[in-house]
């Protein structure tokens, strides 16, 4: 993936990643460009279908 990953609970590392993106324009540009490409893989129809599948499976239980 084209993302900076960090442990959800490590707020200091999260802050460091945010600062890195703010201080380094080439990194920011790369993340933005790759993020725009990655987001094209998602659709509301697919998300809705996945959600519906979860509800249908839960109703079977």
In a domain, 39, yes or no: yes
In a domain, 34, yes or no: yes
pLDDT for position 37: 87
pLDDT for position 4: 92
In a domain, 4, yes or no: no
Q: What is the arithmetic mean of pLDDT over 37-41?
A: 88
pLDDT for position 59: 95
The parent domain of residue 56 ranges over 11-60
In a domain, 30, yes or no: yes
pLDDT-derived band at 38, boundaries 50, 70, 90: confident
Q: Sign of dihedral through CA atoms 49, 55, 59, 61?
A: positive
21 class by beta-carbon count within 10 Å (0-12 exposed, 13-18 middle, 19+ buried)? middle
Vertex 57 angle, CA 51 and 61, to 5°? 140
Secondary structure (3-state) at 8: coil
Asked if residues 19 and 27 have their Cβ atoms less than 8 Å apart, the reply is: no
Instruction: Quote the number of domains for the chain.
Output: 1
Q: What is the arithmetic mean of pLDDT over 21-44?
A: 92
In a domain, 26, yes or no: yes
pLDDT for position 46: 95
In a domain, 56, yes or no: yes
């Amino acid at each position: 993936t084209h993302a900076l990953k960090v442990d959800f609970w490590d707020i200091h590392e999260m802050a460091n990643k945010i600062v890195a993106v703010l201080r380094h324009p080439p990194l920011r540009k790369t993340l933005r460009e790759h993020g725009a490409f990655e987001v094209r893989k998602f659709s509301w129809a697919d998300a809705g279908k996945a959600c519906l599948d979860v509800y249908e499976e839960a109703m079977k239980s």
